[in-house]
């Protein structure tokens, strides 16, 4: 495994980090708890020492599973990342969207990161994660109802108290990051990035490189479509919201699969899966520090972690990019 520094925080993390959204079940159509625990432990055995979760994932369930999975592993051998600011148990702040919990019960989600809420959420996450500190604590989405300074000052207080080691943001733009930096030194920004979703490269990536901020790329496999396993006509489980996504429109599934078919011979030549090739490509992208990749079971976890062993030459990366830039989605 490769390990990379998160900005200037002094915090090191595995380049491939376990993304724990799917194991919470929420918006992914459910998951077996025992399989999820096994997936996290299998990842750790492969050198994946970092795990990213959030309070909203399964409304606390993902954090609970992470806490269970890490029981018995020395705390200083893993890095726990989690997020706050998406409230399903309060109506303060900015209404975000309507959803359903894992039992199909209606759920209203609000973006809120007021000071007292941040402190309360941290304590709740610590309890669910069965730990006394969080390595990287991130605001999940910008909250338009709370001054950024108020949120960041709360993080600074948590840092001083030893409750968190480093502070990060998620889904922030350059202006918001610069404003946050007036109150606390940020380690990172967690943002969506994949072969077919490269919008951050125009402004955010150059800014983060210049200011020495890590970028944690989430959905590098674009919620599974870049694995090559989702073909036209794919049937999704109940509660799985991916079929409503732009990238999962039938025309786009066809076009993305045609692109992936061009990559298959290169992957085969390296005795790698498409997923592994895509993950390695992501980690070679300028400014990308970490690739967050989820797994529902131990087999997937080991496959993801093994992507670190794939080697791509500059010529091969250029060839992939040529094919990629020719891809046009509907």
Distance (Å, rounded) from C-alpha 4 to C-alpha 113? 29
Q: Is 103 helix (H, G, I), strand (E, B) or coil?
A: coil
- Considering only CA atoms, give the Rg of the chain: 19
Distance CA 162, CA 105 (A): 37
Distance between CA atoms of 293 and 193, rounded to whole angstroms?
12
Beta carbons within 8 Å of 51's beta carbon, 6+ residues apart: 17, 18, 20, 40, 43, 66, 70, 78, 79, 80, 81
Which DSSP string do the residues of 185-206 spell out, in sequence order?
A: ---EEEEE-BTTB-GGGTTHHH
- The residues carrying an active-site annotation are 57
User: How far is it, in rounded angstroms, from Cα 7 to Cα 245?
Assistant: 32
CA atoms within 13 A on the CB side of 34: 0
Cα distance between the two ends of the chain: 37
């Amino acid at each position: 495994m490769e390990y990379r520094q998160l900005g200037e925080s002094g915090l090191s993390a595995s380049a491939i980090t376990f993304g724990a959204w799917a194991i919470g079940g929420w918006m992914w159509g459910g998951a077996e708890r025992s399989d999820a625990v096994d997936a996290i432990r299998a990842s750790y055995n492969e050198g994946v020492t970092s795990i990213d979760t959030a309070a909203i994932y399964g409304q606390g369930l993902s954090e609970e599973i992470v806490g269970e999975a890490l029981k018995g592993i020395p705390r200083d051998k893993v890095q726990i990342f989690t997020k706050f600011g998406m409230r399903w148990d309060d109506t303060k702040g900015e209404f975000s969207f309507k959803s359903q919990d894992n039992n199909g019960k209606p759920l209203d989600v609000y973006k809120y990161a007021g000071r007292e809420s941040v402190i309360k959420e941290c304590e709740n996450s610590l309890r669910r994660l069965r730990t006394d500190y969080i390595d990287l604590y991130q605001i999940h989405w910008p909250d338009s109802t709370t001054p950024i300074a108020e949120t960041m000052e709360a993080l600074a207080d948590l840092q001083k108290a030893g409750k968190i080691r480093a502070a990060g943001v998620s889904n922030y733009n350059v202006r918001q990051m610069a404003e946050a930096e007036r109150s606390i030194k940020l380690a990172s920004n967690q943002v969506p990035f994949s072969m077919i979703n490269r919008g951050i490269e125009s402004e955010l990536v150059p800014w983060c490189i210049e200011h020495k901020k890590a970028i944690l790329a989430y959905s590098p496999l674009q919620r599974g479509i870049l694995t090559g396993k989702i073909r036209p006509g794919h049937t999704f489980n109940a509660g799985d919201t991916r079929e409503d996504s732009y990238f999962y429109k039938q025309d786009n599934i066809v076009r993305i699969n045609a692109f992936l078919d061009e990559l298959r011979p290169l992957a085969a030549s390296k005795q790698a899966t498409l997923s592994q090739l895509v993950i390695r490509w992501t980690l070679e992208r300028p400014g990308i520090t970490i690739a967050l990749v989820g797994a529902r079971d131990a087999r997937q976890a080991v496959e993801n972690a093994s992507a670190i062993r794939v080697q791509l030459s500059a010529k091969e990366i250029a060839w992939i990019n040529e094919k990629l830039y020719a891809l046009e989605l509907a």
